[in-house]
Amino acid sequence: MTTQRQLPLSRLGHLVPPLLDGAALIALIPITQDLPWAAKAAWDIARIAARDGRRVALVDLCLEHPVLHETVGLKATEGIVDAFEYGVSLNKAAHEVTGVFIIPAGSETAHPADVYAHERWRKLHAGFRSEGALLIALLPLNGLAQFSATPDGAIALAPEGLGADFSLERDVPLLGVVRDRWLPSHSRTSPPPMPMPVAEGPRRSSRLTAAFLIVAALAASGWALARAREAFVAPPKQPATAPRPAPPGAPRALPASPPTAIERLDTLGWTIQLAAYTSLDKALAHADRLSADAGVPALVTPLPQVGSGPVWYRVLAGSYATRAAAGTARANLWRRGIASAGVGDLLLAPYSYHAPAGTSLDSLRHKGLPAVRWSNGVILLGAFEAAEQAAYTQGQLKRAGVRANLLPRMGTP
């Protein structure tokens, strides 16, 4: 029996990067009828791979049922089939979307096996390796069997997991299985089935360098991929750590794992993550626009990356009692054109810092704090999934000399 490494959606940002180090070609294999779910998982993996500036291309090779272009917000357009069968340039077939080069399936083909077996895949593999870039192929299991190139590894996309007897039937390492959540275990409680908060912020062409792909005339057929200045990709979810005792005089934080009776209070903790920025000013401006123009109150949550990486500022819209209510609200944002279809991850982030009464919003922002005025007039700072996630903001408050309480955002405390 082979142990399959689990890659739950809620932990992709932490678990996936080590699997992709040194790889130039990775196959993502949907083992599910829910292809939109698989496409969203593939899109998350590609953005995780590109978040540190690595050049990444994601190709949709689910040629019989392509859905990746819809997931990333592209209209039906020319793609890999047009490049391989009709001579369309890869430069024209590729589309830069939030730091990742997307190559959709493109036109229908009567011969998908010929696309999988095309000799150019070997050249592209060599070209990406020479450039230190990463090519990710989203393709069905039968496509992997016919693929002319040998991927450096494969990741199965299976929301309910795989059977112990699953096999790729090809000499390609199975790096892991992306699923909705951890397998149930009597020794630990599974985390809630929340998507990994990878932000899908609005595109800002003025903030991105012109994206291009150059198909080299060399045997390697390498691609030179232009980098975006700023990709709206959220930081990895922080691994859970044991809460530390607060120093004397520090604001009292709620416990990381509140008792069941408190967890079930009407805190209206569900929210929608619409974007993430490395600039606090941009994140606050986005939140202010949502509140002023769309009537949707929004919060900004700072989350530092592990190590010396930048701090990312999540933009979280709304506050809802249930995940279903947050999903309905997100669909309404899509319908109103406030967010592009497919944009927005649902998070349970029930805790926020409440600023003292009489505090000036401008004075808090001048001190570099992510303060917003909520719909009830209270000034809030961030929204956190657990108390330990608020440690960075707590440190900011202490340095700024601001005493604020970490409390359920709304509802009965």
CATH number, domain containing residue 377: 3.30.70.1070
Question: What's the CATH code of the domain at 19?
Answer: 3.40.50.300
Same domain for 130 and 80? yes
pLDDT of the residue at 147? 95
DSSP symbol at 347: E
Q: Cβ–Cβ contacts within 10 Å for residue 207, how many?
A: 12
pLDDT of the residue at 225? 39
Question: Where in the sequence is the domain holding 55, given as residue range(s)?
Answer: 6-181+194-225
253 assigned to some structural domain:
no
Distance CA 349, CA 298 (A): 13
Edge to edge, the sheet with strand 153-157 lists 6-8, 174-179, 153-157, 25-30, 134-138, 56-60, 100-103, 95-97
Same domain for 169 and 26? yes
349 assigned to some structural domain:
yes
Same domain for 293 and 200? no
Distance CA 347, CA 350 (A): 9
Same domain for 199 and 71? yes
109 assigned to some structural domain:
yes
Same domain for 221 and 357? no
pLDDT of the residue at 183? 53
233 assigned to some structural domain:
no
112 assigned to some structural domain:
yes
Phi, psi dihedrals of residue 386, rounded to the nearest 5°: -155, 160
251 assigned to some structural domain:
no
Same domain for 143 and 80? yes
Q: Cβ–Cβ contacts within 10 Å for residue 373, how many?
A: 15
pLDDT of the residue at 157? 94
**88 residue type, one letter:** V
pLDDT of the residue at 217? 31
How many structural domains comprise the chain? Answer: 2
DSSP output for 42-57: HHHHHHHHHTTS--EE
Same domain for 309 and 203? no
292 assigned to some structural domain:
yes
Distance CA 231, CA 234 (A): 9
pLDDT of the residue at 155? 94
Same domain for 170 and 33? yes
DSSP output for 53-69: S--EEEEE---SS--HH
Same domain for 360 and 276? yes
pLDDT digits (tens, 9 = 90+) for 63-122: 999 999 988 888 777 899 999 988 888 888 888 888 899 999 999 888 999 999 999 999
Same domain for 308 and 264? yes
Same domain for 267 and 200? no
Identify the helix (H) or strand (E) that includes residue 7.
strand 6-8
369 assigned to some structural domain:
yes
Distance CA 45, CA 67 (A): 16
Same domain for 322 and 220? no
Residues of the chain scoring pLDDT < 50: 1-2, 184-266, 411-413
pLDDT of the residue at 182? 60
pLDDT of the residue at 169? 73
**Region label for 81, one of left (φ > 0), alpha (ψ between -120 and 50) or beta (otherwise):** alpha
